[in-house]
């Protein structure tokens, strides 16, 4: 059996991987450590590793993996902005991903954030648990008839746009490569930013999309705009977002990701001092809802992730073609 070092392992990961991996000739070594240059040595003797969104797969880590005999990296996620693909090619390491595990899972979580913020169910939940049934301060807004701007119409963005159409919202979309247009008006990004009541991000993080929502972009938005991000944290300039929440320009924000999340998300830091002042201040705002990068976390998605990841590795070690292989020139979508 081929040994795989499985980094950043969580109990919900193991449920499906433990069942599927042995059937494909894989022996998984589950490690709680995140993958980085220091922990790469833990993969010694394993020809493959399995990694996740907040693992560090930069050039230094990949070099350390190669020196320890690793030939394949299986990402159990769609986004690969944390992987230096050029360095992987230099070191002769093959990289695979899971391009589509459950677009509905992420799209539905984006909707959950949006509905929670517009109807303030998170605040109502806290009140009623304390036997406070007052409705003061809980006035919501309808989504029907409002304009949502969907940035990125890959699998997840298209699913979210379809959901919004089902709510009788007007859907604007921006994508450099429009592929889905039924009931959707494709516009330039600056026009989407200017016209939308809700802006939801569904695009990969690249040098071109880094801080896509910048101070300039926030300045052009409608007063009271709602921001939803279930893609990658660095799509938003977090300090600019905080300033616009405090000024009232941004009416609400639902964030499943954060640009400096790597050392916080997926961890219990409730008994620690969190030094990230921007995140602390965002968490303190009543109109900001933060979840810990859990949009993917459904039974259906976890099963699909495990199935595709295991199959990617099985094909690689069997000498078969792996359609989900990534190279430096591979375009990505979410």
**pLDDT tens per residue, range 104-140:** 999 999 999 999 999 999 999 999 999 999 999 999 9
What's phi and psi for 156, nearest 5 deg? -75, -45
Residue 334 placed within a domain: no
Q: Are 135 and 202 in a shared domain? A: yes
Q: Which two tokens stand for residue 34?
A: 């995140």
Q: Are 52 and 140 in a shared domain? A: no
Q: Are 45 and 67 in a shared domain? A: yes
The residue ranking higher by pLDDT, 102 or 280, is 280
The answer to whether the beta carbons of residues 323 and 99 sit under 8 Å apart is no
Q: Are 179 and 278 in a shared domain? A: yes
Q: Say how far apart CA 266 and CA 278 lie, in whole Å.
A: 18
**Which helix (H) or strand (E) is 30 found in, with range?**
strand 26-30
Q: Coil, strand or helix: which one is 3?
A: strand
Residue 333 placed within a domain: no
Residue 151 placed within a domain: yes
Q: Which two tokens stand for residue 94?
A: 């093959």
Q: Are 187 and 277 in a shared domain? A: yes
Categorize the per-residue pLDDT at 102 as very low, low, confident or very high, splitting at 50, 70 and 90: confident
Q: What is the pLDDT of residues 25-78, one digit of tens each?
A: 999 999 999 999 999 999 999 999 999 999 999 999 999 999 999 999 999 998
What's phi and psi for 253, nearest 5 deg? -145, 130
**Rounded to 5°, angle at Cα 310 from 12 and 85:** 100
| Helix, strand, coil percent content, the chain, rounded in steps of 5 | 35, 15, 45
**Residue 182 pLDDT:** 63
- Give the number of other CB atoms < 10 A from CB of residue 97: 23
Q: Are 10 and 70 in a shared domain? A: yes
Q: Say how far apart CA 174 and CA 15 lie, in whole Å.
A: 38
**Residue 218 pLDDT:** 98
Reference 296, options 211, 232, 213; nearest CA is: 232
Q: Are 41 and 122 in a shared domain? A: no
Residue 255 placed within a domain: yes
Q: Coil, strand or helix: which one is 13?
A: helix
The DSSP bridge partners found for residue 172 are: 149, 185
Q: Which two tokens stand for residue 304?
A: 């699909």
Q: Are 269 and 135 in a shared domain? A: yes
Work out how many domains the chain is built from and give that number: 2
Angle between helices 103-119 and 155-166 (to 10 degrees): 40
DSSP E strands, 175-234: 185-186, 198-201, 225-229
Q: Are 79 and 154 in a shared domain? A: no
Residue 61 placed within a domain: yes
Residue 222 placed within a domain: yes
226 Cβ contact list (under 8 Å, min separation 6): 114, 117, 118, 197, 198, 199, 250, 251, 252, 253, 254
CATH number of the domain enclosing 304: 3.40.50.720
Residue 159 placed within a domain: yes
Q: Are 80 and 164 in a shared domain? A: no
Q: Are 199 and 255 in a shared domain? A: yes
Residue 195 placed within a domain: yes
Q: Residue 91 belongs to what domain range?
A: 2-101+298-326
**Residue 180 pLDDT:** 67
The answer to whether the beta carbons of residues 201 and 235 sit under 8 Å apart is yes
Q: Are 125 and 230 in a shared domain? A: yes
**Residue 332 pLDDT:** 60
pTM for this prediction: 0.91
Q: Is the pLDDT of residue 307 over 90?
A: yes
Query: Could you list the active site residues?
Result: 232, 261, 293
Q: Coil, strand or helix: which one is 5?
A: strand
């Amino acid at each position: 059996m081929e040994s795989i070092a499985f980094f950043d392992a969580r109990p919900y990961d193991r449920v499906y991987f433990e069942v599927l991996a042995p059937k494909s000739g894989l022996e998984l070594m589950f490690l709680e450590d995140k993958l980085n240059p220091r922990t790469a040595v833990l993969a010694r003797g394993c020809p493959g590793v399995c990694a996740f969104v907040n693992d560090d797969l930069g050039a230094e880590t990949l070099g350390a993996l190669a020196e320890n005999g690793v030939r394949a990296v299986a990402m159990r996620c769609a986004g690969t902005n944390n992987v230096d693909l050029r360095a992987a090619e230099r070191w002769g390491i093959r990289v695979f991903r899971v391009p589509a595990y459950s677009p509905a899972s992420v799209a539905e979580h984006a909707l959950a954030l949006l509905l929670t913020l517009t109807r303030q169910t998170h605040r109502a939940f806290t009140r009623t648990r304390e036997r406070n049934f007052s409705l003061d301060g809980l006035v919501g807004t309808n989504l029907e008839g409002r304009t949502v701007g969907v940035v990125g119409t890959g699998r997840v963005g298209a699913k979210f746009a379809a959901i919004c159409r089902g709510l009788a919202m007007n859907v604007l979309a921006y994508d450099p490569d429009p592929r889905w247009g039924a009931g959707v008006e494709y516009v330039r990004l600056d026009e989407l930013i200017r016209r939308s009541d809700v802006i939801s991000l569904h695009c990969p993080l690249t040098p071109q999309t880094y801080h896509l929502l910048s101070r300039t972009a926030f300045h052009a938005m409608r007063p009271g705009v709602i921001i939803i991000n279930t893609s990658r944290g660095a799509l938003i300039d977090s300090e600019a977002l905080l300033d616009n929440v405090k000024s009232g320009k941004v009416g609400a924000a639902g964030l499943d990701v954060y640009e400096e999340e790597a050392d916080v998300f997926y961890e219990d830091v409730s008994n620690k001092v969190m030094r990230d002042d921007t995140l602390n201040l965002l968490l303190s705002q009543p109109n900001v809802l933060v979840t810990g990068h859990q949009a993917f976390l459904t039974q259906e998605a976890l099963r699909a992730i495990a199935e595709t990841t295991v199959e990617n590795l099985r094909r690689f070690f069997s000498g078969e073609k792996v359609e989900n292989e990534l190279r430096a020139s591979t375009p990505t979508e979410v």
